[in-house]
Structure 1
Amino acid sequence: MHFAQFFEATYSKAMAYLVASTRLPPHAAEEVAADTYLALYHRWREAGAPAKPIAYLYTALRHAAMKRHAHQQRERPTSLADFPDIYDARQRHQLDQVETSQALLEMLSRLPARQRQLMSLRYLMDLPTDRIAELTGLTRSAVRAHLSNARHTLQQIWHEREAETG
């Protein structure tokens, strides 16, 4: 497989993985993805394709995201209220969708890293349990158990959130 084909086949899912599992904002995820793909391209050109290019890509993405988090010093807005100019009655529906997405991302961020990673691979990247087990080095039963625990935890978080908001 040529690198260009690999890039086209993996980029959108890699972006979804970065945003969901690393808590990077989309613009930062794009930068991490660009840097990672560039490094992978150079490696691909010099040494050939890795034996497991998808596993190699996700390992490199995870490491680059952790490095980005370690060096990130800027403060992010904490809510949509920090952007009053976008809060318009005509855009309420879109805003509700964004708030729901933010709530879901916040809920996912409360999961342990392993569960967050597996939820991203399963539900954002739509990978089957067998493939997730192969990529992560876990057994299929361990993947299923982690996913079950994550779904249970998310359900508890959702109920707590509903109780708080009334």
Structure 2
Amino acid sequence: MPQGGNIQYREEFRKIYYRYFRQIVQDDGFDIDVYPGNAKATIYVPYLDFETEVDMLMELANHAIEEFNKSSSAYKYKFLFIEKVNYIMTKYREYFITVKVTNLTLRTPMATFQIRAYKGPNAKNIITLCRRKGEDVKAVNEVCSKMADLKAE
């Protein structure tokens, strides 16, 4: 139960937590549209007021896209803006940043990237994941769908 949650609403909170954890598993913590509130179980937190750290987040995003460009031989991208941010508290605050980019190679409209990053020791940019949205999560979504089918039976 979240802090301040009334025990009589336990079943409603259970449904909210189920959706919350399903979204974390399905999209690696990037797309959370429900947040149960401050509780021990809610380690992924939507960062609604990320403007207070927007310069640092933009630096992380730019760095991630630059590194992605170095490792990708096909297309080159340019960071445009931050769409949303979630975070977890580890030794450092680790960010799950959803950004919009433009494809410089094809000159196509915006694409969406997901970046997992944090500021490490000595303010070093640490990028643990940078991908186009939707990549690498398809297999997880298939497993979640099968789990939902089993639950429905």
Q: Same fold (TM over 0.5)?
A: no
Bigger strand share: 2
TM-score by length of 2: 0.28
TM-score by length of 1: 0.27
